[in-house]
Structure formats: C-alpha cells, structure tokens
Amino acid sequence: MGLGRLIIRQTHAVLQTQVPLVRDKAFINGAWVAAASGKMFDVIDPASGKVVGSVPDMDAYDTAKAIQAATDAFQTWKNTTAKERSEYLRKWYDVLVKHHEDLATLITAEAGKPWKEAHGEVSYGNSFVEWFSEEARRTHGEILASPTRTKEMILIRQPIGVAALITPWNFPIAMITRKAGAALAAGCTCVVKPAEDTPLTALALGHLAEEAGLPKGVFNVITSSRTNAPQVGKLLCESPLVAGISFTGSTAVGKLLYKQSSSGVKRLALELGGNAPFIVFNSADIDKAVEGAVASKFRNCGQTCVSANRFLIQDEIFDLFIERICNKMKTLAMGFGMDHSCSLGPLINTAQAHKVNTIVQDAIKKGAKIHLGGKPASTLGERFYEPTLLTNISESMMCYNEEIFGPVAVCIRFKTEEEALTIANSTRQGLAGYFFSNDVPQLWRVAKGLAVGMVGINEGIISTAEAAFGGIKESGIGREGSHHGIDEFTYTKYMCFGNL
C-alpha cells in the first residue's frame, strides 16, 4: 500500500470518506520498513468496527534497530545549532498545517473523534511544534558569580541523548508533538512508540517529518500490537543507548516503566492517570459551571486524562445544577465522527466500553440514581455509550474511586469548602482539578488547597502549549509544554575555569 488513501465507510451513518496519509510500514532511519518477522496487525475504526489499515507488528529486534538509528543520528543532531533546530521544527510545523484536514480525517478514522474535535486536536498538536520551534532558541545557560577571583563558573544545557516516547491513543497527534517537539528542540533524537489503537497518525507524522526534511534517524516511529508492546517497552527502558523515557498512559503501566528504567537510572517523565474533581460552589455562575463541566467531561467521550471525574456540588445549588447539566447533556449529538453534526463519538475499543458499563452498573447496584443514560448505545454500535448522569454516589462505588474514562458524570453533594477539599484530595491521583466560584478569597484558598498539578478556575479546558502540563502524587513526574518542557530532555553541565 505504502502512502495511499483508503476509503472508510461508516455504514450505520451511511457515511464514507477518503483517509489520506496512510502508511503500512514503520519509519526507521529515514526509511519505510516492515517488521523483521513480516507480521502485521489491523487498526480498527472504533465507530464502525471496520479495518482502517494494517501496520507492522514490531518486536524487540526491530526496536533495537530504531534505537541504533536514533543513536547514530544523535552524533550529528546534537551538534546542530539552536537556530538550525528551530528552522527544522518550523518547516515541520508548516507541513503539518498544510495537511491539517488530512490529519483530522485520519484521527477521526482511527480514534473515532468527532470531526470538530479532530480538527481541534490537530491545531492543538501542531501548536507544540510551533511553540518548541521558538523555544529551541531560548534554551539558555547561566554565568555564575564566582566566590574567588581566580575562577569563572558557567552552566550550560546539553541534550540527554536518545529519547523514547511512548504515547497513548486518546490524542494521537498531540501526545507525540508535545514530547517530540521538546526533545528535538533540545537536540535529542526520538524513537516514538504510539498506542496500538492509533498508530496511523504517528506514521503520518513520520511521513510529514520526512517531507519537512528532518535528517535520517532523528525521528523514528515503531509500531507494535498489544502482544509485542511489553517487550518493546522493556527494551526502550533498559537499553543503555536510550537516555530518557517520556510516557503518557495509565498509572499501572507508568509504574512498570519506572521500575524497568531504574536499572539504567534514566531520565523519566511520566504523565499518568487522573481522578479530577470538579467543584461548584454556591457563589458560582451555574450556567458557566455547566458549560465548563460538559466541556471537561464529554470532550473525546470522556477519554482524556484531565477529564472531570467527580463533580462536587455544594448543597444549596445541587438540584439546580443537576437540572441544568441534565438539559445540557441532552443536546449532545452522539454518532459517527464523519457526520459533522456529531459531538460525541464512540469509546476507543470494546474493552473500554465494557469497563465503563461495569463502573455504571456497579454504581446502580449500590444505590446510585440515574438521571440520564446508564447503558450502551447499542443501536449505534458496540463501542458507543450513552451520556450518563448519576447521583446518590457513595465511597464504596467504583465511580468514586476510579478514573472512568467515559461519558459518565457522577455528582456528589457537599456542605462546606473543607469537606469539598477533603473529598477532592482523597485519591492517590493528582493531575488536574477544577472549581467554579465568584468568591475571590475562596479562589486563592481552593486553588492552593487542591492537591493537583493543574487547576482550572472558572474554566473547564486548561491545556495549551504555553502552559506546564503535569501532575503530582501517582499522576506522574515532570512537565510537558511551556518552557519547562525542554527541561526533561536536557542536562545542566557545570564548567569551572580555574587559575585565571
């Protein structure tokens, strides 16, 4: 197949479209290659259940080749000037912008995102390449004030080496560009291992990096099925040629990678699971809170790491909030992403659909009240789930303690600010938190009191290239985006000039 355009038919919605930029080979050392074993695996459109394409099912042998290619390329890439790296990234950004619509179509085809959301992700993902093309020239060192007259002291920043980037399926472009943009800007080379569900977008990024003229071996993409993913990840963590790991995904996998990386004491950046609280206080503008709640909860069908997971509503306004968010949820149009009127697509795979339904049924059995939804949207397909609103939530329910990662809003009453913060912080996760209030002193108290890495204050959408993205506790270590994003891919070297 090589580079081609596949026809994707979403039969239930009687829709079809051409999917551009499709590759059926991996990208190693500037060449398009098959797995040494010759094995392939299929990529499925989660909306229709149809095969979108097939890609190489690579193993540790193939991964070692990619690592070596990145290692060889690093010997010259590390010596490029910041200006040169900036120009390469800018060219890549320009190519990505030129293919904006093609990339959005591909995301909808393999991730199931509604058309509008897919377009939004492409803009968001591209923004990281643009941002780091600019930040590449601002990776400064320091001149220190010497304590003696015979010494001068300088700090410089140097790239760590080969960076292994392991990315999830929920943002097929943005989770790669957020990492690769920073790594390339710092002077590192990359081996990208995308999620099994969404490898086609990663391969498209490889093709467009090639089109932009990035040197061979600087940006490599390897693909593998769930069967081979453990051995691929293990090698990336344990290979002495890999200097750092940047991973976005579940806390359980992040802990495993953390352990595997310890043998080489690698640089590690982990963006892991969340259990984000969304607090609405009595003083809040309820209409704005509802808008923010729906935007945070139902973007990508609830499949985002910063998605609101537990809605904490103050007692006085609880009933009114439930009424208004229920009405707003009824306007969500569920369907197939190629239908431009669709605002809510499918879950990524059948395992995720089963997990969401299990969490909802557990809550119902333990006394939760259903205001809306509560079951699969089986008329659309096996991976669709109705937007669901639950109240009467107790601590014994799975939805109280686990990240749902689906279109399910659980609402909990509270009486005081102290109670809200206690509930919000009663989790080992600490990625994002949100709250709505018009009490200015309360804004500062709660923002500082939430045990999370990021806080949305009267705002449900907080992600942007300019901001530092990351969590605390078991939600990870390190930061992505902002000028801090390059820190994960550089060492600080101290140079002391003596006998002057």
- Which one is catalytic: 271, 403, 417, 488? 271
Sole residue written with tokens 């506790």: 473
Q: How far apart, in whole angstroms, are the C-alpha atoms of residue 81 and residue 348? A: 41
- Cβ neighbours of residue 84 closer than 8 Å, sequence gap 6 or more: none
Of 116, 114, 115, 109, nearest in space to 10 by CA = 109
Catalytic: 480?
Answer: no
Q: So which residues are the catalytic ones? A: 271
